[in-house]
Structure 1
Amino acid sequence: RAVLVEGPPNAFAYGNFLAGRYVAVSRSLYQMLPEDELLAVIGHELGHHRHRDVVLMLLLGMVPSILYYMGVTLIRIGLWGGWSSDREQRSSPVYLAAVGAAAVALSFLLQVAVLAFSRLREYYADAHGAAVAGARAMQRALARLHLYYTGTPHAREELERHSSLKALFIYALLEAAAEPFYSPWRGGGAWGDIDRVVETLKRMEADPLQELLSSHPPIPKRLRFLDRLARGEERVSP
């Protein structure tokens, strides 16, 4: 099922096999995208459901969080218990603090791995969106979203406030550098205009460190991936 929600242009998948699987599309996104691009976005989110990404990302995201809080707890126990004047009594809390510090460090490494997995699932979902409405429609939708958030600071702030859900969004902030004077809204320009933006974005490079810490691949890489997919150079089961 697809439902309309309020908020800046975006879409996300949610639900499970018990409560039902849903795709939420913001009313502003529905108004912004032409029909084929909207179908591509919905196809992207249906791809998340098909690949069970909602459950997978929930479970995987819990692992580094649990490890982090366990580590912080051990560090606090170790520091609190380390004030004893007895050397033998001090050794155990110090050991706990060391184990806690190692757990915190490991949680950050696991979080980086979870983010890498999330980026991979976005490529799979993009492939599903392309299978539903075509690679070009998927590219245009991504370019319009990128343009919107590039030129709308308050929408970027709103998106950041919902950062806990960003792994499930069609669009997440990574970089913001496109053509700010082009309107992304439906009817705001000719098809050639948005296609020109797509081609411009494809030539852009992303900051590797920024990408490493993001739940979504950079828009230029997603656009280039869709090109390779259309040419048959990528083999991804949608």
Structure 2
Amino acid sequence: MTSNTLKTALFMTVLTVLFIAVGGVLGGRSGVIFAFGFALLMNFFSYWFSDKIVLKMYRAKEANEADAPDLYRIVRNLATKGNLPMPKVYIVNNPAPNAFATGRNPEHGVVAVTTGIMQILNEDELEGVLAHELSHIYGRDILIGTIAATFAGAIMMLADWARFAAIFGGFSRDNDEGGSPGGIVVLIVVSILAPIAAMIVQMTISRSREYLADERGAHLSHKPRALASALAKISGTADYIPMENANAATAHMMIINPLKGKSLLSLFATHPPVEERIKRLNALAEKIG
């Protein structure tokens, strides 16, 4: 088990413990059950239909071997090399260079690339990017992201209810005769800090999965330097060719964040710094030759 896999497991555990602790403080047993159930229903829909939603959002068109022979060949060779099911291949008509993967499991995997990324990358670099995306599918990152979003969403709902109840009165936890000013202050403070903590943990899980996909993709393609070169090109080009129809809800799915958020705290970033990803890939290239 790699260090990034261990980090994902650790942060998923932290998120679960945070949910239980916050639920006990803010909603008691009944509040925890209701919030978790509601969040589970919302994310269940997202898990089953995320591929259709994001593909429609970006107007992606499915490509077969006749439409894009080189692209299709690279994906097929990588899938064969990794002994993996062949994913569907989609192309997004957009000059901004980017790529993403979706699909609830390997049997329903989808990889999509923009026309922009195919124009700026050579074949080795494109292979490195596609290997990264295949690693997301076969690492079941959609499932992991959905579970993390369910816990984080439940915490945020509990926090919203607690703030509303503390402001307008009438809030009491199971077996709590409270309502004292001190108790209300605690509720308000926890309801503010808990969602922030949940979001930080969720974003940390997302960044850990990016590192892991880089590592697995590099091993699959055996071209870590090509992926490093691709990341540098994509990041540099994105500075002057932004992805105009990029959506914050799907930004975490892209190989490079299409949104310009340099002013945001790095704790809330969905992707690790490109420079650090390149540094790790170059170190991996030295290690595996």
Q: Same fold (TM over 0.5)?
A: yes
State whether structure 2 residue 147 is matched by structure 1 residue 59: yes
**SS of 2:110's equivalent?**
strand
Distance 1:12 1:67 in 2: 28
Partner residue, 1:164? 249
Q: Does 1:2 align with 2:89?
A: yes
Amino acid at match of 1:30: M
Deviation string 1:10-69 (CA, Å, 9 cap, x unpaired) is: 111111139711111112222332111111111001111121111101220232222112
Provide the rounded CA distance (Å) in 1 between the counterparts of 2:139 and 2:188.
Answer: 35
Residues 1-238 of structure 1 aligned to structure 2 (within 5 Å): 1-7=88-94, 8-17=96-105, 20-81=108-169, 91=179, 95=183, 98-99=186-187, 101-131=189-219, 132-152=221-241, 155=242, 158-159=245-246, 162-172=247-257, 210-232=265-287
CA distance in 1, matches of 2:266, 2:169: 40
Identify the residue that residue 183 of structure 1 maps to in structure 2: none
**1:6, 1:27 within 8 Å by CA — same for their partners in 2?**
yes
CA 1:23–1:94 in structure 2 vs 1: closer, same or farther (change >3 Å)?
Answer: farther
User: Gaps spanning 5+ residues in structure 1: where?
Assistant: 83-88, 177-205, 234-238
**AA aligned opposite 1:27:** T
Aligned length: 193
Give the distance between the partners of 1:32 and 1:142, measured in 2 at CA: 11
CA distance 1:96–1:119, shift in 2 (3 Å): same
Q: TM-score, normalised by structure 1?
A: 0.70
Counterpart-to-counterpart distance in 2, 1:39 and 1:224? 19
Identity of aligned residues (%): 27
After TM superposition, the score normalised by the length of structure 2 is 0.59
Residue ranges of structure 2 left out of the alignment (5+ in a row)? 1-87, 171-176
Q: Distance in 1 between matches of 2:280 and 2:107?
A: 33
In the aligned structure 1, how far is the partner of 2:108 from the partner of 2:151? 25
Give 1:167's aligned amino acid.
H
CA–CA distance in structure 1, aligned partners of residues 115 and 137 of structure 2: 21
Note the alpha carbon deviations across 1:140-162, whole angstroms, 9 max, x for none: 1101111111223xx15543xx1
Q: CA RMSD in A?
A: 2.9
Q: Indicate if the aligned counterparts of 1:126 and 1:226 stay in contact, CA closer than 8 A.
A: yes
- Structure 2: how far apart are the matches of 1:6 and 1:93? 57
Report the CA distance between 1:174 and its aligned residue.
8.1
